[in-house]
Amino acid sequence: MKVLGIDLGGTNIAMAIVNENGEILARNKVETKVHEGFARVVERMSDAAIELIEKVNGVSKIGIGSPGSIDHENGIVRFSPNFPGWINVPLAEEIEKRTKVNVSLENDANAFVMGEKWFGKAKGYTDIIGITLGTGVGGGVITGGKLLRGHDGIGAELGHIIVDPNGYPCGCGNHGCLETMASATGISRLAKEWKERYPESTIKNFSAKEVMDAARMGDQLGVKVLEIVSQSLGTALGSLIHIFNPQIIVIGGGVSRAGDILLSNVKKYTRENVMRSFWNTYEIVLSDLVDDAGIFGAASIGFEEIES
């Protein structure tokens, strides 16, 4: 089996043909250029996809991971804040029309957890939580081997679990969502706000990477921010463990590159937030698909459809 996985991002569209063994056979990448409108994005995506399909014979499915609220059943992007004007656009239908290959469309965070099930740390597990820490915080849940979408297909917005009701305002309209505390954007804001308390800190640019690197070196501002982020994640994961009783939680996204310093702290604070009966029922790991997680996630949606 060969599936073309397409990771639709706000800046770039990355894609690759993947086989069932997780081998990438060919890849391509084009700029999204959202400002040019839906039709031009579809045209660029389709041209790049056709180029790969003609290069590698036997592609039986296309899977697309897209940000936003997705109608998986009908292949429609209902709404995506990163794509102005994309309201109820028939993305799957348009790509299918041009490529002549059947298309499955899924929310990118749902695709992430599916990618972990098929090709990543969660392979062989049936009850999985995936968390992506990037510009925002996304998530997906697999329970009993099946992706949890909810009644309208837009469930499992794990980044909008409220960890502090009196916390920072979130883009979703609430206050204190996990996204405000554990995203790359949130980490940068926290470091800027605490900077005055730690004038000796070497942090200058306030990127999430710089903050996490500083924490690893013992910089007190970095350590403080890491503690806040880890406590927030531990609070959220504690609730998710109580609700879903997962075997494994996989953390991905750019912030996960912080590595063991993040993982060890998240494990500590998560344990503090779960009942004794849940101790040792789960494991928390970092994704090793980070750079190609979007592609493998999108491809996995295609493989799942083929197998179902």
pLDDT of 81 = 77
- What is the band of 153 on the pLDDT scale with cuts at 50, 70, 90? confident
300 is in which domain, residue-wise?
2-113+292-307
Do 138 and 255 belong to one domain? yes
Report the alpha-carbon distance of residue 124 to residue 132 in Å, rounded. 20
pLDDT score for 202: 95
**How much is the pLDDT for 86?**
93
Mean pLDDT of 266-272: 97
* pLDDT at 63 (0 to 100): 97
* pLDDT at 290 exceeding the cut of 80: no
**9 and 93 both lie in a single domain:** yes
Report the pLDDT averaged over residues 260-268. 97
Domain identity same for 237 and 180: yes
Residues 280 and 156 reside in one and the same domain: yes
Give the model's pLDDT for residue 142: 97
Write the CA distances from 303 to 45, 53, 59, 175, 237, integer angstroms.
Answer: 20, 16, 11, 38, 28
Q: What is the mean pLDDT of the chain?
A: 94
| 148 lies in the same domain as 281 | yes
**pLDDT tens-digit series, residues 189-240:** 999 999 999 999 999 999 999 999 999 999 999 999 999 999 999 999 999 9
For the cut 80, the answer to whether the pLDDT of residue 49 exceeds it is: yes
Is the pLDDT at 281 greater than 80, yes or no? Answer: yes
Q: Assess whether 96 and 161 both reside in one domain.
A: no
- In this prediction, residue 212 carries a pLDDT of 97
Arithmetic mean of pLDDT, 43-57:
96
> Do 20 and 127 belong to one domain?
no
Is the pLDDT confidence value at 151 over 90? no
Q: Do 61 and 177 reside in the same domain of the chain? A: no
Q: pLDDT band for position 68 (50/70/90)? A: confident
Do 95 and 156 lie in a common domain? no
Quickly list H helices, 149-259: 178-182, 184-194, 208-216, 220-244
pLDDT in tens, 94-146: 999 999 999 999 999 999 999 999 999 999 999 999 999 998 899 999 999 99
**Structure confidence at residue 265 (pLDDT):** 97
The predicted pLDDT at position 20 comes to: 92
pLDDT of residue 293: 93
Give the amino acid at 168: Y
Query: Are 46 and 176 part of one and the same domain?
Result: no
Q: In what order do the strands lie in the sheet with 76-79?
A: 69-71, 76-79, 87-89
H/E stretch holding 71 reads strand 69-71
The number of domains in the chain is: 2
**Predicted local confidence at residue 307, as pLDDT:** 80
Does position 267 have pLDDT exceeding 90, yes or no? Answer: yes
Q: Are residues 284 and 302 in the same domain?
A: no
CATH of the domain at 10: 3.30.420.40
* Together in a domain, 18 and 161: no
| Residue 6 near residue 298, CB atoms below 8 Å | yes
Using DSSP bridges, classify how beta strands 24-31 and 12-19 pair: parallel, antiparallel or unpaired.
Answer: antiparallel
For residues 32-36, average pLDDT: 93
